[in-house]
Structure 1
Amino acid sequence: MKRPFISATDLDKITAEFPTPFHLYDEKGIREKARAVNKAFAWNPGFKEFFAVKATPNPAILKILKEEGCGVDCATDVELLMSHKIGFDSSAISFTSNDTRASEFAYAREIGATINLDAYEDIAFLEEAAGLPKTVSLRYNPGGVFTLGTDIMDNPEESKFGMTKAQLFQGYKDLKAKGVQSFGLHAFLASNTVTNDYYPTLAAQLFNLAVEIKQELGISLDFINLSGGVGVDYTPADQQNDIAVIGEGVHRVFDEILVANGLGHISIYTELGRFMLAPHGLLVTKVLHRKKTYRNYVGVDASAVNLLRPAMYGAYHHITNMTNPNGKVEVVDVVGSLCENNDKFAKQRELPEARIGDTLVIHDSGAHGFSMGYNYNGRLRSAEILFQEDGSARMIRRAETPEDYLATLYGFDFEK
């Protein structure tokens, strides 16, 4: 059963200072997770975790990860700008984008980020837009269906990301002919896998591909980026991946394939946004209303604006009643206030009685929580609060105001 990283007493103090809803992050947990990842891959001298900024784009969080030796993976020029302003060294910034604007490639070149190209056609586009850097990475999509044993994990052929094997090889040939000196390989084949076998299986495929690239093209890759895909168990079972076991599994195939073929110099990179942050965030909300029709409804002050995943994907997020944890269990839908029937955090969920005024926490919102927020119905994005290692709380993003929402409108004066 999932347990919040904060006590009811400590949370009461925070909600007395900061009005709900808000996202709450656990500094201690974030640091411990970063250290565990780095330890799991310490066998590889060039290892680097490039945290996916899109998961939790807050400078306070990124600074914590920077202090723990992590880099960042960016998907847009704004994420690049944030990372650069925070002070990440150019070698610690990766740019993995798709359908990319020329200006974004130009800015990535300006700050020295490592560019990971999504499409074969992007080679010519990058060259024209900003020139080719000395180091380029290419994103591979093997097509077909990705399986682990008899289980279908994902369908890469339907993914818009990456290039075919033929395009990949032609891309390396073209880049080498144009003077590129250092090469990387990147692939993402499955999302949110809850198995210790995913990374080693993916790594083996990419390592064998690296051997082919060396044999056919005479190119020795400098790094292989395993991307993300190592997920979290959102369910009450809470059977999480073991990063130490995963790291050792990758180590085993690294030795069997790369070291055995004279490619033991290759650095391993990861982009573990969800795994790094999701379990270390809670969406804190209070019960506003109760309603009984054909179902029992618990209405809270958060909505899909604050956490979109349940509405968009039907994703499960566990909910804990911090105020009344031992109350009589009832079956309810936990809902927000948007004018959409999918604005539900839980459907027909067994929960201890949630009374008006009770504080609920929605688990595993630390990644792809706040970052996927929006302003439907004129609802405003919530604050973000950091629960620090010393037990104090610090606001790291204030809640939006109506003035923020109206600020970009042109031609109207709402003060009249």
Structure 2
Amino acid sequence: MTDASPPIRRLADWDHDQLLDIAAEYDTPLYVLDPSRVQENYRRFSAAFLDAHVMYAAKAHTGQAVLSALLEAGADIECAAAGELQRAIQAGADPDTLQYTAVNPPDRDLDYAVDLASDHPGFTITAGARDTFDRLESRGYDGRVAIRINPGIGTGHHEKVATGKDAKFGIPYDEVPEVADDVRERFDLVGIHAHAGSGVLHDDLDDHCRAIAKVAEMGREVAGAGEGLEFVDFGGGFGVPYREDEEPLDMDVVGEKVREAVGDLDAQIKLEPGRYVVADAELILTTVNTVKETPAATVVGVDASLATMIRPAMFDSYHPIRNITAPEREDYPVAIGGPCCTSADVFATDRPVARPEREDVLAIGNCGAYGYELANQFHSQPRPAEVAIDGDDVRVVRRRETMADVTRVEDEAEIGSASAESDR
């Protein structure tokens, strides 16, 4: 049975008085992270899959506070880029436990991974293209590898995350046995890997399990044709409810369905939750600066933007929004957007919110997954600070950028250019 922590944290469950104090002290826009919630989510997921090796998919949130909390909870880390490997090691991960899932990896990423493996033979590289295996061999690598396969079934909340049917990801399913024979001759083939999609809830669960069953079947075929496999990695993809009327997954039921889909498998089952672990453990605080009445809509301007969190603009994602300054006010339909000069910079349209007024603080929920990870400097906006809460204690885990940070790489380039000129 899973543990007793609630399966989803809604905006109303956060301490509004504490959030208002935090906004006043640390300014907005601001990310607020609860590392203990990250650990609760990881433990709940792991309890539903006691027979599996659960690795956190770092790409959802690579913040040191998140990675450190998960390592403390006993999690291993799966990384999709060299930078994620470096951040995981910096947070305290043992490189021999890391798994690197390469997707069209740049040369510098492969160089980093191969160099890391030279001192850490337990490190595993997953590749999804024949060409990537050739590039590894050309670097003298002959260590642990897994083959990423494409099951031809994509699932998830948006077509842009349905990786299981996207040709970009993995070896075509019918080609896997042939590729496995070739890979075995050159490397230590320890596993196969697949990831069908992201944000899977009840409606997508059956399709997700069909993809899992297909991957498991290929695992049995590949294992039977050689000396077995150490693991079959089914990726992550399990979602959380972003909308208030959506129900969270019952992880005990999900665990049963996944085990049924896998069937008999003489290899370790691996799973890589990302979104499920971090999504509801973080929110954004933002301050209202403009309220504009128009014939089309009441437009509420805030200091957060698509540079703070791009998911609504990129995926048309829904995030709950709550006026924590005055939640008792009557709900009123508003459009909420930021200061960027594009119509995409909108967090909500025609959304009932306790009627906002200038200087009110709004909370945007479920921002832990791919929130700060996709933050950017559009319009030369410095990226926001991030604080972590531990009961009544609050600490800055990522300081707010300044304009000097935004221009530093250019300033340093000019300094470097001037130094080179003076050396001539």
TM-score by length of 2: 0.88
Alignment partner, residue 227 of structure 1: 235
2:279 alignment partner in structure 1: 278
Using a 3 Å threshold, how does the CA distance of structure 1 residues 324 and 68 change in structure 2: closer, same or farther? Answer: same
Matches within 5 A, 1:30-109: 30-42=38-50, 44=51, 47-109=52-114
Residue 103 (structure 1) shift: 2.7
**1:213 partner letter:** V
Matched ranges for 1:147-296 at <5 A: 154=162, 156-178=164-186, 180-195=187-202, 196-197=205-206, 200-215=209-224, 217-254=225-262, 256-258=263-265, 263=266, 266-293=267-294, 294-296=296-298
Decide whether the 8 Å contact of 2:61 with 2:373 is kept in 1: yes
**Which residue among 289, 312, 321 is the counterpart of 1:310?**
312
Distance 1:30 1:4, change over 3 A: farther
| 1:125 is the counterpart of 2:150 | no
Query: 2-side partners of 1:170 and 1:132: how far apart?
Result: 18
| Residues 353-372 of structure 1 mapped to structure 2, 5 A cutoff | 353-372=355-374
Distance 1:276 1:49, change over 3 A: same
1:257-284 residue CA offsets vs partner (Å, 9 max, x unmatched): 32xxxx1xx1122221111101111011
1:301 positional shift:
0.9
Aligned counterpart, 2:328: 326
Relative to structure 1, is the Cα distance of residues 231 and 41 closer, same or farther in structure 2, using a 3 angstrom cutoff? Answer: same
Write out the 4+ residue segments of structure 1 that deviate beyond 6 Å after TM superposition: none
In the alignment, the residues of structure 1 paired with residue 184 and residue 244 of structure 2 have an alpha-carbon distance, to the nearest angstrom, of: 50
CA displacement at 1:376 relative to structure 2: 1.1
Give 1:14's match in structure 2, choosing from 10, 22, 27. Answer: 22
SS in 2 for 1:121: helix
Secondary structure at the counterpart of residue 308 of structure 2? coil
Say if 2:155 and 2:164, in contact at 8 Å, map to a contact too.
Answer: no
CA spacing shift, 1:155–1:272, aligned 2, 3 Å: closer
Contact 1:30 1:276 in 2 (8 A): yes
Contact 2:151–2:211, Cα closer than 8 Å, also in 1: no
Give 1:407's aligned residue. Answer: 408
Q: Mark the runs of 5 or more structure 1 residues left unpaired by the alignment.
A: none
Change (3 A) 1:272 1:77: same
Q: How many residues were matched structurally?
A: 394
1:20-62 CA-to-partner distances (Å, cap 9, x unmatched) read: 11111122211111111221111x2xx3322222211111110
For 2:165 and 2:210, how far apart are their aligned partners in 1? 18
One-letter amino acid of the counterpart of residue 110, structure 2: F
Q: After TM superposition, give the deviation of residue 146 of structure 1 in Å.
A: 4.5
- Return the alpha-carbon distance in structure 2 between the equivalents of residues 2 and 80 of structure 1: 32
Inter-CA distance 155–65: structure 2 relative to 1 (3 Å threshold): closer
Distance (whole Å) between structure 2 residues aligned to residue 352 and residue 222 of structure 1: 54
Q: Deviations over 1:107-157 (max 9, x none)?
A: 223323310102122111111124121x211111133x5479xxxx95744
**C-alpha deviation, 1:236, in angstroms:** 1.3
Question: Offset of 1:212 from its aligned partner?
Answer: 1.7
SS at match of 1:72: strand
CA displacement, residues 288-310 of structure 1 (integer Å, 9 cap, x when unaligned): 11012221101111111111011
Say if 2:331 and 2:353, in contact at 8 Å, map to a contact too.
yes
Residues 287 and 377 of structure 1: CA distance in aligned 2, closer, same or farther (over 3 Å):
same
Aligned partner of 2:337: which letter? Answer: V
Give 1:80's aligned amino acid.
L
> Alignment partner for residue 349 of structure 2, among 347, 350, 356?
347
2:32 to 13, 24, 36: 24
Cα deviations by residue, 1:315-374 (Å, 9 ceiling, x for unpaired): 111101111112122111001000111100001111110111111110110010011011
Paired residue type of 1:132? D
CA distance in 2, matches of 1:268, 1:404: 43
Question: Is the 1:197–1:246 Cα contact (8 Å) retained in structure 2?
Answer: no
For the Cα contact (< 8 Å) 2:163–2:195, is it kept in 1? Answer: no
Where 2:414 maps in the other structure, the secondary structure is coil
Tell me which moved more, 192-201 or 124-133: 192-201
**Structure (1/2) with the larger helix percentage:** 2
AA matched with 2:349: K
Runs of 5+ unmatched residues, structure 2: 1-8, 118-122, 417-424
Please tell me whether the aligned partners of residues 204 and 257 of structure 1 are also in contact (alpha carbons under 8 angstroms). no
Distance (whole Å) between structure 2 residues aligned to residue 18 and residue 141 of structure 1: 45
Amino acid across the alignment from 2:248: Q
In the alignment, is the contact (CA less than 8 A) between 1:120 and 1:167 conserved in 2? no
Query: What is the CA deviation profile of residues 73-124 of structure 1, one whole-angstrom value per residue up to 9, with x for unaligned ones?
Result: 2122111111122221123211112121233123223323310102122111
Aligned equivalents of 2:238, 2:116: Cα separation in 1? 29
Structure 1 Cα separation of the partners of residues 59 and 93 of structure 2: 16
Find the residue that maps to 2:246 and give its secondary structure: coil
> Please, which moves more after superposition, 101-110 or 79-88?
101-110
Partners of 1:314 and 1:405 lie apart in 2 by 27
